[in-house]
Homo-oligomer: A and B are copies of this chain.
Amino acid sequence: MSVGLSIHDLMTPVAVIDETIMENNIKVAQDYFDRIGRNFRPHVKTHKIPALAALQTAAGAKGINCQKISEAEVFADAGFTDILITFNMLGAARLERLKALNARVDLQVVADNSVVVDALAGRFDADRPLKVLVECDTGGGRNGVQTPSDAMQLAERIDACAGLVFHGLLTYPKAASEAAVEAFLAETVGLLKQAGLECPVVSHGGSPSLFDSDLVSSATEHRAGTYIFNDRAMMRAGMCDLDDCAMQVLATVVSRPTETRAVLDAGSKALTSDLLGFTDHGLLVDYPDASIVSLNEEHAIVDLSGSARKPQIGDQVRIVPNHTCVVSNLFEKLVFHRDGVVTRIETVAARGKVV
């Protein structure tokens, strides 16, 4: 165990989490939702660690959000009982596991089409019905029914199934489009009311939309994952500052082949190739004018031509990743620290749970 060591004495690459920043991120988000009187359901895909979800629920979060059945099972095994899985589920083996999970926790799932609804209906029954939210595409361009009347129709189809309970609406919005999201949801809620269909949950989402959630007044809950650590994409979106980024990847300069090229021991298997619209692969905190111009699997190529200060071989560098959620998934363990002293090491328990 490395507890008590300096994080700078660990083997690199390593993903380290500043506990103080993380705790503040949890508190600031929960305070916001407490203030606007809305449930907050953290998405655990960002960290995949039950001990962190426990901090989020202890702060006041209502349940957790998982993305896949295998991820949800890890958190159910860890004692979480209020779980939403925000992914259409199909296939006999998956539905079998879903039924077993529904028997032991308070489970909600989503559907955005009749094939999924009918598959769920064929596997669940009135003894232990499954709660289903209708996923709505309010502009995000991913999953979701396209119109309020389509949402209404699917809700009625769910409501007609003995094994299913229509439980509400869900959307993963396009960023900064609160008015369009609210218009879609409000119209759908109105249609449901006219039809006499109860709609206990209207679930809105996303870290980029977190502090504007109050503008979507129809929503009853908000889901977000990235906010717990924050990252370079969240900084660019104006949602946080560098001091709010709890995760850094520490790497070592292992080569300086030329005056303007440094090579780090962290590549796409540590930082991922996720660009999220950036043209380079992470923020070098101590060398902001240097750029990680390309990644191989275990090498980062850094262009130092714009940087007056140039790191030497053996120097450690700190990287704020473009996208924190994919970095967690690449490491077997995350290292936590306060002021650079290791406080604990947590296994990424749901790492690689993609089914």
A297 contacts chain B at the CB level, 8 A cutoff:
yes
Q: How many copies of this chain does one complex carry?
A: 2
CB <8 Å contact, B299 and A257: no
Q: In residues 153-186 of chain A, which contact B (Cβ within 8 Å)?
A: none
In the complex, chain B residues whose CB is within 8 Å of the CB of A352: 269, 330-332, 351
Q: Which residue of B lies closest to A255 (CB)?
A: B143
A197 contacts chain B at the CB level, 8 A cutoff:
no
A258 to B147 CA separation, bound complex (whole angstroms)? 11
CB <8 Å contact, A272 and B270: no
Q: Which residue of B lies closest to A263 (CB)?
A: B143
A87 to B256 CA separation, bound complex (whole angstroms)? 13
A90 contacts chain B at the CB level, 8 A cutoff:
yes
In the complex, chain B residues whose CB is within 8 Å of the CB of A142: 257, 263, 296, 299, 301
Could you say which of B11, B112, B258 contacts A146, with CB atoms under 8 Å apart? B258
Could you say which of B88, B141, B275 contacts A254, with CB atoms under 8 Å apart? B88
- A224 CB, min distance to chain B CBs, angstroms: 14
A268 contacts chain B at the CB level, 8 A cutoff:
yes
A67 contacts chain B at the CB level, 8 A cutoff:
yes
A229 to B272 CA separation, bound complex (whole angstroms)? 21
A216 contacts chain B at the CB level, 8 A cutoff:
no
In the complex, chain B residues whose CB is within 8 Å of the CB of A258: 146
In the complex, chain B residues whose CB is within 8 Å of the CB of A265: 87-88
CB <8 Å contact, B254 and A298: no
Task: Please name 9 pairs of A and B residues whose Cβ atoms are closer than 8 Å in the assembled complex, sorted by A.
Answer: A11-B355, A12-B91, A115-B312, A142-B257, A142-B299, A142-B301, A144-B255, A270-B354, A273-B326
